[in-house]
Amino acid sequence: MTQIGEGEENMNTKKTDLYGKFEYKGKMYPFFYEDSFVTVIQQPWEYNEDFEKESYIEKIAGVTNSNKVIIFLKCEFLGGKFKQENRNIIFSTKGFVLFDKSDDPFDCIEFESDALNAFYPPIQIMDSKAIIDERTYKIKNSADITKTFVTNVNEENINMELTISWRFSHQPENRSMGEKYSVWRMKFESPKYSENIAKYYLYLLDFLKFVNFRQNITIDHFILYKIGKDNPVGIGKFFSHETANDSKAVKSITFEDMACDEVSRLFSCIAMQRNQTGYNDSYIPRNTEKFCFFDWTDWLNTAVSFEGEYSKKYKNQKYQSDLDFAKAKDYLLGQIALEVEATEQSINNKSNKAWAKFKHLIEHTDYRLEEKFEFMLQHFSKEISILKNQFLNRHNVSDEINLADEYAEYRNKLAHGDVIDINDANAVNFNLMRVFIYCLILERACITEDVRKWIVEKLFHL
């Protein structure tokens, strides 16, 4: 599986203007597929009633005009005014898979992406010790450029494999040797089916967004294999509105920045976030331009992300560390319980709504905003020391300023609709929030302090 075979060439995913027929509830429908949208070809209103009540179908199977089996993934039907005005049957798809013969199970999926090239740079295929001049070099053995590790995501063990492939040109007159690129393979312990693909795609997409600190990440296409067989059983792609990926290895987290077991834990931590409450990746800029320039909406979104990540581990930090605070909180909750018990009514009863509100407020009371920020400044002092000084110097802010108070004041103003310009202190805080978020996530993944320091300085160094 180290180079493209004839099977993949025959199942090219670059061309998505396809014709064919798909099956739905035992009936065949002709379709035209272009740029993620499927249009049902029909005489006026011929099939409209068949799909009148449909809004979403997990997958739809059909056959293309070239006799390939096609599986449309995550199909959403356009409805409302669009359906009333146009009387067309159109549904969007998140992606598709092409099979030679049938919707086969698979036990290995292979992805490639420009963002993956930044995480695991293809230049590693060259043996730098054997380079004599620009015309003479040696290629490393496959074993030397392949990294493997096991990751557990949502109680499933996945065998991961990172390697570098080479796409050769078959044209004898072509002067180029071809294109080297990195691939990420997921190997499974049990057979998987086409409806499972989106889940694994999102695992990798979220991870690549995190390590590249960019939202404009695309995964070019994927290939499905059965382990032990060289030719793919299927190939497909997911559609994305993102373009112009600008990831660079020097400003991204790379595989070599961490130990293999740390990569495994970090991947698991990131991949499981969609199944957790508080998932929010709005702190990640769309591209390099948004990394450098931001406005108050970016500031507020990042603050929300920061506080969400903080709460995942340190939600009750003051209760756990401040004995007097813990006693006071327990006392107040106890008094509320006694008052409700005296009335012999549930706290959820209509007459006890006031007590229920106070109980909720006290239960969720811990560090104030400024205390959270100050705790982060102290807790991650080693990781942020160099960066904090850079941020202060760049914005000409004194190191004697109380950044925690500045954070709480501006955060509360934005939350209450008082939109004012970002001052220099809160420009510093914006950058610090991003660093805190990465430190918190890396800490949850049990990445060591020294590695955390290396990573955030690499990502956020000015």
Mean of pLDDT values over 262-268: 96
Residue 136: band (very low, low, confident or very high) from pLDDT cuts 50, 70, 90: low
Q: Between 48 and 347, whose confidence is greater?
A: 48
- Is pLDDT at 83 greater than 90 in this prediction? no
In this structure, are residues 341 and 379 in contact, taking their beta carbons and an 8 Å threshold? no
Q: What is the pTM of this model?
A: 0.86
The whole-angstrom separation of Cα 148 and Cα 373 is 38
User: CB–CB of 346/336 below 8 Å?
Assistant: no
Q: Scan for tokens 């929010």, then name that residue.
A: 280
Residue 319: CB atoms within 10 A of its CB come to 16
Q: Which residue has the tokens 């996530």?
A: 441
Residue with tokens 């036990």: 107
Mean pLDDT of 186-194: 94
pLDDT at 392 over 60: yes
pLDDT at 159: 96
Q: How confident is the model at residue 54 (pLDDT cuts 50, 70, 90)?
A: confident
Which candidate, 198, 217, 197, places its Cα nearest to that of 207?
217
pLDDT over 90 (residue 330)? no
State the Cα–Cα distance between residues 270 and 196, nearest whole angstrom.
18
Cα–Cα distance, 123 to 363 (Å, whole number): 54
Whether the pLDDT of residue 227 is over 90: the answer is no
**What six digits make up the tokens of 429?**
């805080």
Cα–Cα dist 237/246, whole Å: 20
**CA geometry: angle 239, 76, 84, nearest 5 deg:** 125
How does DSSP classify residue 140? P
Q: Residues 19-32: what's their mean pLDDT?
A: 94
Specify whether the CB–CB gap between 94 and 235 falls below 8 A.
Answer: no
pLDDT band at 8 (very low <50, low <70, confident <90, very high): very low
Helices 296-314, 403-415: axis angle to 10 degrees equals 110
Highest mean pLDDT out of 116-125, 350-359, 388-397:
388-397
Higher pLDDT, 225 or 345: 225
* pLDDT recorded at residue 161: 96
Give the pLDDT of residue 191. 93
The residues near 295 (Cβ < 8 Å, ≥ 6 apart) are 422
Higher-pLDDT residue of 364, 94:
94
200 — pLDDT class (breaks 50, 70, 90):
very high
DSSP 366: -
Our CA dihedral for 303, 305, 311, 317, rounded to 10 degrees, sits at -40
Average pLDDT over residues 133-145: 70
Nearest of 450, 438, 458 to residue 266 by alpha carbon:
438
Contact 24, 50 (CB under 8 A): yes
pLDDT at 439: 97
Write down the pLDDT at residue 193: 93
Contact between 99 and 225 under an 8 Å Cβ cutoff? The reply is: no
Average pLDDT over residues 206-228: 91
Share of residues in the chain with pLDDT > 90 (%) = 53
428 has pLDDT over 60: yes
pLDDT band at 323 (very low <50, low <70, confident <90, very high): confident
pLDDT at 11: 47
Mean pLDDT for the chain?
Answer: 85
Using an 8 Å Cβ cutoff, are 158 and 90 in contact?
Answer: no
Residue 129 pLDDT exceeds 80: no
Give the model's pLDDT for residue 321: 73
DSSP 55: -
One-letter amino acid of 209: K
> What's the mean pLDDT in 56-85?
84
The pLDDT assigned to 230 comes to: 73
Confidence of residue 1 (pLDDT cuts 50, 70, 90): very low
d(CA 214, CA 283) in angstroms, rounded, equals 10
What backbone phi and psi angles, to 5 degrees, belong to 99? -120, 150
Residues for the chain: how many in total?
Answer: 462
